[in-house]
Amino acid sequence: MEEAVPMWILCPVCGGRVVTEHEDKANRCEYCGSPVLGPSQSRDCVNHPGTLAKEVCSVCGDLVCEECMEVRVGQYGGKLFTIINCNKAECQVANSWAKPLNREYQRLTNFDWSDRIDNWVLRVSGLGAVLMMLFELMFVILMLWIQYFTPWGRATPSPIPNIFLVGDTVIILSITGNFLSAVILQTALQVYVHERQLTSGAFLLGLLILETAFLFFRGLYFNLLAFPEAWLIPLLLTCFSFATILVFFGSLAAIGVGIKKHNQTVEAKKALGLH
């Protein structure tokens, strides 16, 4: 007699195969732990027959309607999870690490009003950060060209200071500048996140000040004011200024919106007595 081949269905959360051990009950996905409905399982709420269920309890797998379910939110492994509980005590104890969702608090801290501004902030600061990275790339190429391919740079002694070899300071300081611009870009991509907007905006502004000071330091250290070609300084300042203005206004906008969101959150907690 042939052995029965177990049936399986795909988990709607992670796409993994879930063996249907129970036809009329929820089966647990072994990959992500999500409850997956059995093929012949009733879609009605376990407490209210005839009422279509809205969610599945993450602990026992029972189907529950909106009246019977409890939404919980918690952090696990650095990630924010939204989970569903039924009203059984053991299921609520199992998910006690997550706090019940306060819908009134959620309503009072709704940040939909900032969507358009957040998009603008992300695009402006992100574009400025990308242009700043391109500027740093252009700067290192330009400095290497000046150092090795112009009579001024090849003069003896070299007008550009070095530590051990000719051009070593150009490479070292240029790598530092590129690293700093990469951090600026990474920070600029965080100004869209509600929880980190204020901090990211302030940090981005601080990085911008540091990058600006570092550029002027390199210009003075490399004696670029003594470079005989008059086009160099205006070119560098024009390119850098355009990127700087974008990041500057993007960071200020992020700080302003972040402060407004922070105040909204504080007022919501105060109104609900959550302080």
pTM score over 0.85? no
| Residues 6 or more apart in contact with residue 84 via CB below 8 angstroms | 55, 56, 57, 58, 64, 69, 70, 71, 72
Question: Are 55 and 69 spatial neighbours (Cβ–Cβ below 8 Å)?
Answer: yes
Report how far residue 236's alpha carbon sits from residue 137's, in angstroms, rounded to the nearest whole number: 12
* Helix pair 115-149, 232-271: axis angle to 10 deg: 150
**Two tokens at 98?**
């997550």
* 48 backbone dihedrals φ, ψ, rounded to 5°: -135, 80
* Residuewise pLDDT in 10s, the chain (275 residues): 455 555 778 887 788 888 888 787 788 888 877 788 888 888 899 899 989 998 888 888 888 998 999 888 877 765 667 888 888 889 888 888 888 888 788 888 888 899 999 999 999 999 999 999 999 999 999 999 999 999 999 998 889 998 888 889 999 999 999 999 999 999 998 888 877 899 999 999 999 999 999 999 999 999 999 999 899 999 999 999 999 999 999 999 999 999 999 999 889 888 877 65
β-pairing, 63-64 with 55-56? antiparallel
CB 275 within 8 A of CB 269: yes
